[in-house]
Amino acid sequence: MSETVERIKCLIIGSGPAGYTAAIYASRADLKPVLYTGMEPGGQLTTTTEVDNFPGYPEGIDGPTMMMQLQKQAERFGTEVRIGMVTSVELSDKEGGIHKIVVDNNKHIEAESIIISTGATAKYLGLPSEQRLRGGGVSACAVCDGFFYRGQDVAIVGAGDTAAEEATYLANICTKVTMLVRKDEMRASKAMQHRVNNTPNIEVRYNTEVDEVLGEQVVDGLRVINNQTGEKEDISVTGLFIAIGHKPNTDVFKGQLQMDDAGYLITQPKTTKTNMPGVFAAGDVQDKEYRQAITAAGTGCMAALDAERYLADVKTEEKAVEA
């Protein structure tokens, strides 16, 4: 185990749009941020082939390229980007306290402020064919990728409010939406169920699961199975949207930071402040409503500004005590 403890003014955990935007603002504020990428450098956008809804890219851009550009921009202002994963934390509940972090189980860090941007991981079905075609017609974000399937037939898996909302969103731009529900009823609210049932180009199939995603390079169909009869059927679709939930990457903070029942970090209204002084949260790790790259980037900016103000206040208080 490493014996050297490094002191960092601003530690950023996570490397998606929130993390890199926070890094850009923090480095320009001379906070000398150090960013650890986590287990998925670049975040979920690295699995997205085309990003068409982020302002400033009139021709669109692929996700990995966009994230590399964000990283270079952060590094240009002085951010130190490191590969590594935070494996344990000991957060201080005192104003101006020092937070203790361990990276990869062996590197010890003391941080004066922390910005958490670890994101949330979309839940998938776990089928090999599904994983193989992620980015080739399989998506976990209808709002992000639905545009590419305008005028086409698609399917969506899920039974909750998010699935119902995304199904009706897709129905506005796609010819037909087949909604696959594992049980004999939906979990969505009655209002959302009514919306789905009143949308003529949405077909709901109950007791139905995906057996295999068909296609070599891109999705060209699904093999579905009725889990009551065992009957299989091939349906023709060009896109498959998975809407069975997300898991926020917050396990390492459990017992120290306030979270909701799903594990999303709770921040004070209109800020990125958590319940621990000097610890801020940005992006999907604290946002289960929007989950967009642009909103994540916005909260990354907010977190850096909150951290800058916090550190300035701490410094002012320390000077006042010395005087």
- Residue numbers annotated as active site: 141, 144-145
What is the DSSP track for 7-57? EEEEEEE--SHHHHHHHHHHHHTT---EEE--SSTTGGGGG-S-B-SSTT-
| Secondary structure class of 226 (helix, strand, coil) | strand
- What does the block give as tokens for 155? 């399917």
CA-based R_g, the chain, Å: 22
Counting every residue, how long is the chain?
A: 323
What is the DSSP track for 240-257? EEE-S-EEES-GGGTTTS
Contacts of 302 (CB under 8 A, 6+ apart): 271, 272, 282
What CA–CA distance (Å, rounded) separates 225 from 230? 6
The answer to whether 204 touches 125, Cβ cutoff 8 Å, is no
Instruction: Report the DSSP beta bridge partners of residue 205.
Output: 180
Strand ranges in the chain using DSSP code E only, listed in sequence order? 5-13, 34-36, 80-82, 86-90, 99-103, 107-116, 120-122, 138-139, 153-157, 176-180, 202-205, 208-214, 221-226, 232-235, 239-242, 246-248, 279-281
| Secondary structure class of 81 (helix, strand, coil) | strand
